[in-house]
Amino acid sequence: MKKYFTKDKWKYSFYCLSHPVDGFYEIRHRDRGSVPIAFIYVILYSLCYSINRLASSFVVNDTNPRSVNALSELFGVLVLYALLCVGNWSITCLMSGEGRLKDISIIIGYSMLPMILTLIPATIISQVIAANEEAFYYILVTLGTAYSLLLMLIGIMTIHNYSLLKTLITLVLTMIAILVIIFCIVMVYSLVNQVFGFFHSIYLELLFR
Amino acid sequence: MMKNVIQKMLLMLLVFVMLASTCYADDVPYTTYNYDYWENIVYTPAAYIPDGKIDGATILDENGEAIGGFVTPNDVYLGKDNHLYIVDSGNNRVVVLNADDYSLIHIIEGFDNNGVAETLKNPMGVCISENEDGFIYIADADNYRVVILNSDYTLNTIVENPQREDNVLEDNFIFCPQKLIVDSAGRLYVIAKNTEEGILVFNENLEFENYFGTISVSISTWERVWRKLSTKAQRQKQALKISTEFNGLDVDDDGFIYASFADTNGVQGVKRLNPKGLDVIKKGYNEHTGGDIGQYNATGSYDGMSRAIDVCYCENGIYSFLDSRRGRVFTYDHEGNLLYVFGGFSDNGAQEGCFKTPKAIEKNKEQLMVADSTLNIVLLFKPTEYGSLINEAVGLRYDGDEATAVPVWENVLKYDANFELAYVGLGKAYLSAGDNKKAMEYLELGMSKQYYSIAFRRYRNEFLVGNLEWILTLAVVLVIGGVAFKKWRNRNKYTDNSADTLE
């Protein structure tokens, strides 16, 4: 367990921020990344997202604080993360991508770092701005999100050793794969439900005979 | 012994039952509510409660005989002469009542037109001129004319078959007036049947001038795409997109016309038309003055937007409109803030204060009155303490008297601690009094971004000015400390390095 959380591994995720191409390359080829750290970043992102929705000033925030549920948001983010990883992996391993599921989950987790690092300061800044000054807040949030998306793109490109065009194509296919996965899950769920219902009614019939 | 215990238990049970059945002061057959900033329904105390009805069957004429129940009453109008006019369409008459005690003054059934006795036929609307002449304008729908009577109920003029030289009116135009209103300048505004072009305006000499306040048809992008894709045959089968018609009129003290219409998008129920016919109504922060927002019925499916059927201008910029889909009365202030919603249907119409087919709304001093054309009565509502406090506070705000409104808003909050407008009112008062911190607190509760920002900017400036020494000192200390720390670390490094080289 300890080897996943060495000081070097923590530091390396920040190195990837400033040197995405080199950084992500070494994650693939020299095992410098860590899945648990990536996982922690995903959870942290979900937390920061909930905090931002809950605590940012109402000047920039139209969310009803009573409707924020950090746990269900965490669940949603984790499901989306899992779908993204599995969807991308299932497409890229058919399209001669070099990345393993491990690498995909690491780079997606690491790319969330800019959003984690900007959401909390943005929330704090939102407390000291008035109307017409929202730009400061939105610039910060937009920059963080944009940089995260850029990192994700570069990361997927690097670990699979793809060209930009191929990366974009696989990303579109990834979205389709995600939809297929969701469809399968829903179908299996409803089928299991019906089977369960069938046996349940047999049980009830026997019970009330 | 045992009997005693049972008796005591029964007694206790009785006491508990009595405690449990809370008795509400506003025991009304409908709910009163408002929408909060996030467009959730917030239930409030009743703003208006039923206060009896006007029933033709109980109104007595001078011989002591009842004048007979109304049949499909379609309009109610309160004149400046304190006479209440009820258009009793089914009986082809207009009943004139005293607005104080609802006793009979006169029944207009016909008039003498140069020696020929003529009658009304299915009158639909009535209004009274605002000047001292007190002319009575009656929309005599099935005779295709507007009849103008003097205040002594003799004939003054008949307006029929409006003409204009150019082809503003179609050749086969049939003038079937429904609702009408006259402004202080004597201009007559008439809603006629099947005229999508807008309201007909007649000048002081009762000559047709032009259409007024046309409602434009809006087509969504999706519909446009769909039309492009469909063939000509398909397009012919599609329902024609025709703009909605106005269906109710009122005029405010400044001569602006309030016209209600059933908005296809459900975001606006009433237009406030200036003399040029442009809509100058103010909408609130959410741009919604069309009644209900996302109403869902018991089964969870969308129940449709509100359909305005009539409007009444109350006072101080407050206006109410009547919704024919769910039988509710929506009241807005001059800024487009929803004040309260009340009213509703009942299945059999037996409950006092519930509608079946609400047709017209009018204000009589404090009272609101709604004509129902199925129940054949005019229902009366009176404001509760809560409702009149809101009206009073909004009125004070309309006059710019925010400071006087403070105790009134505070009283409103005692009844309903969720009333955002009250917090905004209090916040603005604190803002003008200079208490920025308190203003911020209240304006945030009232969810007013605009005024909160003003208060916050002032507070921030105050804070900066008051604590400038501290902030500057802290900054200087931080800079010096940072530089010193860097130097100290570098020196350490240097000594380490020198130690290395020495070894």
What is the rounded average pLDDT for all residues in chain A?
94
Q: Is A18 on the interface with B (CB under 8 A)?
A: no
Do residues B428 and B337 both lie within one domain? Answer: no
CA distances from A96 to A99, A166, B29 (A): 9, 11, 70
B206-222 confidence digits (pLDDT tens): 889 888 888 877 778 88
Do residues B332 and B450 both lie within one domain? Answer: no
Q: Is B450 on the interface with A (CB under 8 A)?
A: yes
Do residues B140 and B257 both lie within one domain? Answer: yes
Do residues B304 and B447 both lie within one domain? Answer: no
pLDDT at B115: 87
Task: Choose the closest CB to B449 out of A58, A64, A128.
Answer: A58
> What tokens were used for B461?
């400036």
Residue of B nearest to A62 (CA): B38
pLDDT at B297: 64
Closest CA to B122 of B96, B147, B102: B147
Reported ipTM: the value is: 0.80
- Report pTM: 0.83
Closest CA to B417 of B21, B34, B27: B34
Do residues B241 and B102 both lie within one domain? Answer: yes
Q: Is B467 on the interface with A (CB under 8 A)?
A: no
Residue of B nearest to A130 (CA): B453
pLDDT at B503: 44
CATH number of the domain where residue B281 is located: 2.120.10.30
In a domain, B481, yes or no: no
Q: Is A128 on the interface with B (CB under 8 A)?
A: yes
Helix, strand, or coil (residue A195): helix
Q: Name the pLDDT band for B302 (thresholds 50, 70, 90).
A: confident
Contact B460 A132 (CB under 8 A): no
In Å, how far is A131's CA from the nearest CA of chain B? 5
Q: Which domain holds residue B362?
A: 33-383
Compute the count of residue pairs across chains A and B with CB atoms less than 8 Å apart. Answer: 24
Domain count, chain B: 2
pLDDT at B25: 47
In a domain, B251, yes or no: yes
Query: Are residues B303 and B316 in contact, defined by beta-carbon separation less than 8 angstroms?
Result: no
CA distances from A86 to A107, A155, B104, B155, B464 (A): 13, 16, 81, 85, 52
What is the rounded average pLDDT for all residues in chain B?
87
Do residues B328 and B413 both lie within one domain? Answer: no
Chain B CB contacts of A130 below 8 Å: 452-454, 456-457, 460
Do residues B310 and B427 both lie within one domain? Answer: no
In the predicted model, what is the mean pLDDT of residues A29-40?
Answer: 93
Residue B374 — φ and ψ, nearest 5°?
-100, -40
Do residues B261 and B340 both lie within one domain? Answer: yes
Say yes or no to pLDDT of A41 above 80. yes
In the predicted model, what is the mean pLDDT of residues A77-97?
Answer: 95
In a domain, B1, yes or no: no
In Å, how far is A73's CA from the nearest CA of chain B? 20
B192-201 confidence digits (pLDDT tens): 988 888 899 9
A16: left (phi over 0), alpha (psi -120 to 50) or beta: alpha
Closest CA to B424 of B335, B340, B341: B335
Q: What percent of chain B has pLDDT over 70?
A: 92
User: So where are chain A's domains?
Assistant: 2-208
Q: Which residue has the higher pLDDT, B158 or B266?
A: B158
Contact A131 B453 (CB under 8 A): yes
In a domain, B482, yes or no: no
Residue of A nearest to B448 (CA): A59
Lowest-pLDDT range, A117-126, A170-179, B5-14, B119-128?
A: B5-14
Q: What percent of chain A has pLDDT over 90?
A: 88
> What tokens were used for B8?
């005591």
In the predicted model, what is the mean pLDDT of residues A98-111?
Answer: 95
Task: Choose the closest CB to A131 out of B38, B444, B449.
Answer: B449
CB neighbour list of residue B461: distance below 8 Å, 6 or more residues apart: none
pLDDT at B80: 86
Helices (H) and strands (E) in chain B, counts: 9, 27
In a domain, B326, yes or no: yes
pLDDT at B18: 59
B358-417 confidence digits (pLDDT tens): 999 999 988 999 999 999 999 999 999 999 999 999 999 999 888 899 999 999 999 999
CA distances from B47 to B92, B130, B196 (A): 35, 30, 36
Q: Is B460 on the interface with A (CB under 8 A)?
A: yes
B35-75 confidence digits (pLDDT tens): 989 888 899 999 999 999 999 888 888 888 888 899 999 99
Say yes or no to pLDDT of B96 above 50. yes
